[in-house]
Chain A
């Protein structure tokens, strides 16, 4: 059953939000499927609703995700050039000379098929090695670009270096935590390098820029792997004068404002 044009604009947003119950949703979809004007309004409503995602602070996924993705992409680009064709077997001739020939050639054909499979497997292995090498090169190029960028950032006169340390009263597990932030307020560029123990399963660390005026600005969420240094590079709004940087422990995925204990703090002298 199709409905008339929705009379209120909010209907589109409620549909995009997924708030309509089944019957309402089906009726709405049945109309939109045959109405170009409403389909366009749905696309706009989807965009309005999509940005509610920004209610959560950005979370830096672990570097392994990008590494695996790029390896997957490179492997797919290399590919074997198509899968094995599953040839339909020819119907066997009943007896006669063909059957005798077939019987004679069977061991040769089997050996040939085996050799083909072995060669294909070897080729696959070489393809994988090649894909790994290409992936390593891509990663190294990116690391080089980031290192160059960091070197440029350090060389800038306006860049400040802010060490972050654990505070008195911090749990013992975090006492050895430390980090360094490079911050260029003019460009809004920031890098973070630091060590902290792994966060509990339901928590993430969140880095904050505390400005002279106004609420703390989230500068990224991270989950260090056990014993490893964390590295982040972020673009923040340019021209913000920072009072200090701090790292807090928050629920997984981070929070819009700091809610958990500050485990590292770096005041700007």
Chain B
């Protein structure tokens, strides 16, 4: 049986936890960390292939959330989506030796995620769905999507990396996003 304290923490919405962070409640940040650190750590490790760098960015993202939570408007976008976008952007910046993004990320990057990812069960279910959707893509389309998402490559850079014509790469990526949108959001 899950304890009452733990159950309440698991049930709290992201919006209420953000509100508590604005009121300087450290336990709310700890609860959001428990909720999303695994998910973010996954994408950071996949992009960077460096546990130490991934953990530095992970800590920095949550510290930024602690400092600037008041800027986050839950009615405009989802926290889980914002966290994923920022984690990916920062990991790719680190990979490409770009400067880290500015502190305005909270208000600038509005991200709308259709699924509610506040529970680990929802995250597990979405993971199965995404893996299965990617497995169903033709091999070349999947490779193109993974190069764009996990390595941050543009059309031209993918064409250069794979040796395929630019037009072919553009068609592959367009078809891939179209199929994924249909499979994951229909």
Contact = CB atoms under 8 A, between A and B. Distances in A.
B178 interface: yes
Interface stretch (B12-20, B21-29, B97-105): B21-29
Contact of B42 (A56, A68, A235, A238): A56
A61 B37 contact: yes
B24 A57 contact: no
Interface string A236-269: 1110000000000001111010000000000000
A189 interface: yes
B32 to A, nearest CB: 11
A21 B148 CA distance: 12
B168 interface: no
Interface string A31-56: 00000000110011011111111111
Contacts of A223: 51
B112 A43 contact: yes
Contacts of A204: 45, 51
Contacts of B120: 234-236
The prevalent SS among residues of B at the interface is helix
A126 B178 CA distance: 58
B66 A73 contact: yes
A51 B123 CA distance: 10
Nearest to B185: A48
Contacts of B152: 18
Contacts of B155: 19-21
B177 A77 contact: no
B30 A20 contact: no
B3 A152 contact: yes
Given A46-B109, A145-B6, A187-B2, A235 B121 contact: yes
A68 to B, nearest CB: 6
B106 interface: no
Interface of A: 8-10, 13-14, 17-22, 39-40, 43-44, 46-62, 64-66, 68-70, 72-74, 76-77, 138, 142, 145, 148-149, 152-153, 155-156, 187-189, 202, 204, 217-218, 220-221, 223, 234-238, 251-254, 256
Interface of B: 1-3, 5-6, 24, 26-27, 29-30, 33, 37-43, 45-46, 49-51, 54-55, 58-59, 62-63, 66-67, 76-78, 80-81, 84-85, 87-88, 92, 109-115, 119-121, 123-127, 129-131, 134, 145-146, 148-149, 152-156, 158, 173-174, 177-178, 180-181, 184-185
